[in-house]
Amino acid sequence: MATAPLERLLPGDRIPDIRLYAEGFSRPLHAEFAGAPLWLVKPSADAVAAALPPVPAGVKALCIGAQVHADVPPGWQGVRAEPRWLDLWDADVLWQADTNLRLQTSHRLPLSTPPAVPATGEGLDASALVTAAPVLQIPAVFERELCAELIAHLENDCGGGEVSRVLVLEGGEQKLQLDPTIKQRRESPLRDPALEARMHERLLRRALPEIARVFQFPVARRDAFKLLAYPDGAGYFRAHRDNETPDVAHRRFALSINLNHGDYAGGEFRFPEFGPHRYSPATGSALVFSCSLLHEVLPVERGTRYAMTTFLY
């Protein structure tokens, strides 16, 4: 699947790479500015560039334009870039990006006070790193509003979904049947083509480029999207692999997006081959992992956990 063409950048998007130029400077943005929080502004005039807010310690800051804005405050670097890339940005808006160059929030200029810099948190110690599962977490693949629409779609338009079944071999034939020793959840495919198109576009622009970069795997196809509900006290999926049987052996990566993190307790992912750690991405964020990894969804203890899943190959 080809990545989606961008007309404007939104929170959750990763900044596309581009070569930046200034006097004595010519470097790709990703090579020079990843690894630290980034501020980025496209001023409409030199006066706007000259009045930019002070840059906190540890933050990199770019003042971009068709020509270099030379008179910028300390901490800012004036650079020029190609018009096709500059067209992605609105003028006089300060964007904050994380250390992975994913856009977080935007602020219309001028600002009365500089924006706060999110804390980066403590690093994992060596023992935790050794046993961490090789999974990829991608923030903000779906907006919170889209997540809420998907929950409503499952409960209202899809009738809450059907009880999930497992595929078994019986008398030489494959059959679907209920098996509460393996899993308990409700599920449904999408019934709204417009919703599915929005979800597909978000994967193209936010998830597929990260999967290609991290795993060096170009996703060509996906399974149909499936909406899931793990109910209070009765939702779980015991440890399993997603490509063990001949009918699903083509699967390469599983992608799961939490739709309502914080509204339930329990329901985390666990990869028992890699220790006791539990994984529970924020609302709209994706967890991507190889289908050959043993994994489980732990029992939901309170509330209902809603999620979306698909398989990539």
Q: Is residue 49 part of a domain?
A: yes
Four-point Cα dihedral 261, 16, 224, 173, nearest 10: -100
The verdict on 95 and 179 lying in the same domain is: no
Q: What is the pLDDT of residues 112-141, one digit of tens each?
A: 888 998 877 778 788 778 889 999 999 999
- In the prediction, which pLDDT does 169 show? 62
Residues 256/223, Cβ–Cβ less than 8 Å: no
At 122 the pLDDT is: 76
With residue 258 as reference, give the H or E element that holds it.
strand 253-258
Q: Are residues 178 and 61 in the same domain?
A: no
Decide if 114 is inside a domain: no
Per-residue confidence (pLDDT) for residue 57, from 0 to 100: 93
Q: Is residue 96 part of a domain?
A: yes
* Ranges of residues in the chain whose predicted pLDDT is under 70: 4-5, 168-173
Q: What does the pLDDT read at residue 124?
A: 77
Give the helix/strand (H/E) hosting 84. helix 83-86
| Listed residue (11, 28, 10, 12) closest to 20, CA to CA | 28
Strand partners, 310: 255
For residue 28, the enclosing domain spans 19-108
Q: Is 170 helix (H, G, I), strand (E, B) or coil?
A: strand
Q: Do 91 and 68 touch, CB atoms closer than 8 A?
A: no
Is 284 found in the same domain as 153?
yes
Residue 101, Ramachandran bin (φ over 0: left; ψ between -120 and 50: alpha; else beta): left
Predicted pLDDT at 172: 62
HEC string of 181-197 equals: CCEECEEEECCCHHHHH
- The reported pLDDT for the residue numbered 14 is 95
Q: What is the pLDDT of residues 5-34, one digit of tens each?
A: 677 899 999 999 999 999 989 999 999 999
- What is the reported pLDDT for 171? 65
Q: Over the chain, what is the mean pLDDT? A: 94
The CATH number covering residue 222 comes to 2.60.120.620
98 shares its domain with 175: no
Based on the fold, state whether residues 169 and 238 are members of the same structural domain.
Answer: yes
- Determine, yes or no, domain membership for 5: no
253-258: strand order across its sheet: 136-138, 286-290, 253-258, 305-312, 226-230, 186-189, 162-163
Which pair of structure tokens corresponds to residue 181? 């020793």
CA distance 34 to 103: 12
Beta partners for residue 296, in sequence order: 270
241 lies in some domain: yes
257 and 284, same domain (yes or no): yes
| Rama region for 208: left / alpha / beta (φ>0; ψ in -120 to 50; rest) | alpha
Q: What is the pLDDT of residue 233?
A: 86
